[in-house]
Each structure stands twice: as C-alpha cells, then as structure tokens.
C-alpha cells in the first residue's frame, strides 16, 4: 500500500509544473468554483422550516385547549436569498395576539401574509402546506388550590431509615387555568428525582413538574426535607394481657411476658419503656377445655417512633382452671 502511494506521489504532475503554471491553475480552479456557485445559487429552491408560534393573552384569561406551538412551513426563492434567510433563522417567529379578544380564527392565508412580512426579501415566499383553519379561544382564568405530592424516590444506606415522612413546604400551590382543565387536576407533583444510599438528613429546593400550555402555577419550586437517622435495635420485656374470656371462667396462660426486639432511631434509644406497648391475647369467640389451647398475640399499642418489631413466641397457650 505504501509503495503504491509513493508511486502516485512520484507521478504527481504538479511537481513538474513551474510555479507560474501552478498559480494559473489555482486561479482557474477558483474562477470555475465561483462561476459554479453563482450559477447554482441563482436557481430557485424550496427549503423546509419550522416556525415557532407564541400567543399573547390577557393576564386574566387563558387559552382553551392546546394550540399549535410549531408550524411546518416551506420557503421558496433563489439560492442567494435562501442562504441569507437561513443565516437569520431565529428571526422567523409568529406571534398571535388575542388580547382583548375571546376568540380568533387562524387561517393559512392570514398567517402566510404575516410571515411574509418577516422575510428578508420580497423575492422570497412562504407557504404553510396542509395548515387548516384553527380557532383560538380564551376563557377567564380560574384558580384551584391543590396539594404538592413528592415524586422523589429515596434508598437508604444500610442501617438507616427516615424517621418521618418527607416535609414539603409549602404543601400546596394554586394552579390557574381554564375551568375544564382544572377539573382534572387534584394534585401537583414535584420533578422526578432519585436519592440513593442516603445516610443523613436531606434538605434541598426541588422544582415542580412543568405545567402544560394554558396552566400556570403560583410557584415553581418547593422546599423538601427528609430526616434520616441510623437505626439500632433494643430489647424490651412486655407483659401479655388475656382479654375477653367468657364470664365466670378462669384461665391460665403462658407466657405472661415476651421480649420485643424493636428498631428505633439512635436518638430515641432508652426513651421507650414497656408501658408504651400493649400486647393482647384476645379470647373473643373462643372456648377452652382442660387441655391447652393457643391464641395469637397482637400488638394493640406501640410508640410512633418504632419502625419495626419482632417477638417470639407469637402465641400464648391457655387453659381453663377450676
């Protein structure tokens, strides 16, 4: 391969030309390119453009439904004019003014006329192929107070948990828009976020989900905080109460206490006692003979700070005594 390349380079005719000849060749190539460019840019072409659309609405009114925010347009003209039009791409924006109006009808002819005034030259034309007449309606803006809900997912580092639900402030916002649109809104979410392997309290400002066209929010951000602590285990001995046995009957049961293994925040260690729990073996609808019977133990009361507990045995054995 290298030998072939060397052979081609060695036979390069430009090496055998005088400097003057090479300069003349370069001028001829440049002139030919210029003539080719002039010839081709003098022809007519058609290009496709997307035209952004914005709507000017009175502050106390909103658009009804979803209006088009982009229009597919074709621009026709000579290559020179289209080249200049392409360079000033950002200047072609359509503004629809519906201030002081309840409705307005958009037609392809009227929009093409307005867009034509924004073009760089009278020799350039614009068309909106396939555009159908669209009514633009406005209605008085209404407000509705709705709660903010979190779309934030949190995973915790080993041995850590949240000690309370997330705190969002403010916990509600005012959503404004057309009455029909507000009927379907009962809450407003935050942006979707994920926090992983959290081992300390998280506090930050989070954005609310962006509203669709025609809906406005009283605020776009809320404060989010989640208290996170390390959790430890503690063992507490708690008595079991036998309840709702038949009147006039006396029962014995075992065990009369169980050891609860509880999970609680490190800061709450030592603050929980047996009096904070109520364990019950309920005999409602049950009868017992002389032989032993079993009934499950249920936790009827426990502190809110407890995030988990387990105990064994899960039942008491009871029997009727004279």
Given a cut of 90, whether residue 225 has pLDDT beyond it is: yes
Q: Does residue 55 carry a pLDDT above 90?
A: no
Query: What's the length of the chain?
Result: 322
d(C-alpha 271, C-alpha 22), whole Å: 96
CATH number assigned to the domain comprising residue 129: 2.170.120.30
CA distance 236 to 276: 10
Nearest-angstrom CA–CA distance, 74 and 91: 15
- β-pairing, 202-207 vs 134-140, is unpaired
- Cα 112 to Cα 117: distance, rounded to the nearest angstrom: 9
**Least confident range of 77-91, 195-209, 222-236:** 77-91
Statement: residue 137 has pLDDT above 70 = yes
In the chain, the number of structural domains is: 3
Domain end among 122, 140, 158:
140
pLDDT band at 166 (very low <50, low <70, confident <90, very high): very high
pLDDT value of residue 98: 83
Q: What is the pLDDT of residue 181?
A: 82
For residues 266 and 206, the model is more confident at 206
Would you say residue 38 lies in a domain?
A: no
> End of a domain among 210, 226, 242?
226
In this structure, are 312 and 275 located in the same domain? yes
Amino acid 68: pLDDT:
81
- If asked whether residues 176 and 242 sit together in one domain, one would say no
Largest CA distance in the chain: 132
- The pLDDT, as a whole number, for residue 196 is 92
Segment among 8-12, 216-220, 282-286, 316-320 with least mean pLDDT: 8-12
In a domain, 8, yes or no: no
pLDDT of 11: 58
- Domain extent, residue 245, equals 231-321
Instruction: Indicate if 222 and 148 belong to the same structural domain.
Output: yes
Whole-number Å distance between alpha carbons of 240 and 111: 82
Mean pLDDT for the stretch of residues 176-182: 84
Instruction: Examine residue 28 and state whether it is found in any structural domain, yes or no.
Output: no
Q: Last residue of some domain: 88, 115, 140? A: 140
Averaged pLDDT of the chain: 83
Domain match, 48 and 136 both: yes
Q: The CATH number of the domain where 150 resides is what? A: 2.170.120.40
User: Higher model confidence: residue 132 or residue 24?
Assistant: 132
Same domain, 276 and 200: no
Residues 284 and 256 grouped into a single domain: yes
Percent of the chain with pLDDT over 90: 30
- Which region among 117-121, 153-157, 281-285 has the lowest average model confidence (pLDDT)? 117-121
Whether 278 and 196 share a structural domain = no
Instruction: Flag whether 239 is in a domain.
Output: yes
Q: Tell whether 6 is covered by a domain.
A: no
In a domain, 1, yes or no: no
Spatial distance between the Cα atoms of 68 and 51, rounded to a whole number of angstroms: 10
In this predicted structure, the answer to whether residue 290 has a pLDDT above a threshold of 80 is no
Domain membership flag for residue 15 = no
- Do 134 and 48 lie in one domain? The reply is yes
Please tell me the least confidently modeled range out of 147-156, 173-182, 245-254, 282-291: 282-291
Query: Are both 132 and 54 inside the same structural domain?
Result: yes
Q: What is the mean pLDDT of residues 36-48?
A: 73
Same domain, yes or no, for 130 and 151? no
| Residue among 318, 192, 166, 160 at smallest CA distance from 250 | 318
147 lies in the same domain as 116: no
Model confidence pLDDT, tens digit, residues 104-129: 888 888 888 888 887 877 778 888 88
286 has pLDDT over 60: yes
Q: Is residue 151 over pLDDT 70?
A: yes
Residue 148, pLDDT above cutoff 90:
yes
For residue 210, what pLDDT band results from cuts at 50, 70 and 90? very high
Q: Evaluate whether residue 237 is within a structural domain.
A: yes
Is residue 167 located within the same domain as residue 81?
no
Q: Which residues contact 20 (CB under 8 A, 6 or more apart)?
A: none
pLDDT tens-digit series, residues 65-86: 778 888 888 888 887 777 777 7
């Amino acid at each position: 391969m290298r030998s072939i390349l060397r052979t081609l380079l060695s036979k390069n005719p430009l090496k055998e030309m005088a400097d003057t000849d090479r300069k003349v060749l370069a001028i001829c190539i440049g002139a030919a390119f210029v003539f080719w460019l002039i010839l081709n840019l003098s022809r007519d072409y058609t290009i496709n453009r997307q035209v952004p659309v914005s709507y000017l609405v009175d502050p106390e009114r909103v658009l009804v439904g979803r209006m088009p925010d982009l229009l597919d347009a074709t621009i026709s003209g000579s290559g020179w004019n289209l080249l200049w039009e392409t360079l000033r791409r950002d200047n072609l924006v359509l503004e629809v003014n519906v201030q002081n109006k309840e409705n307005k009808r958009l037609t392809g002819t009227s929009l093409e006329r307005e867009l034509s005034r924004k073009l760089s030259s009278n020799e350039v034309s614009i068309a909106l192929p396939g555009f159908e007449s669209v009514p633009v309606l406005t209605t008085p803006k209404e407000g509705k107070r709705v709660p903010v809900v979190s779309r934030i997912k949190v995973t915790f580092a080993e041995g850590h948990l949240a000690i309370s639900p997330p705190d969002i402030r403010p916990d509600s916002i005012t959503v404004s828009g057309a009455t029909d649109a507000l009927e379907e809104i009962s809450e407003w979410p935050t942006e979707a976020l994920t926090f992983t392997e959290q081992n300390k309290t998280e506090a930050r400002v989070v954005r609310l989900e962006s509203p669709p066209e025609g809906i406005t929010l009283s605020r776009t951000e809320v404060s989010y905080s989640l208290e996170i602590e390390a959790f430890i285990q503690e063992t507490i001995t708690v008595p079991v109460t036998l309840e709702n046995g038949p009147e006039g009957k006396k029962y014995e049961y075992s065990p009369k206490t169980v050891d609860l293994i509880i999970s609680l925040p490190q800061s709450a260690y030592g603050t929980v006692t047996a009096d904070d729990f109520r364990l019950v073996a309920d005999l409602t609808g049950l009868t017992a003979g002389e032989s032993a019977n079993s009934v499950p133990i249920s936790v009827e009361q426990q502190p809110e700070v407890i995030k988990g507990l387990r105990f064994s045995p899960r039942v008491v054995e009871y029997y009727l005594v004279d």
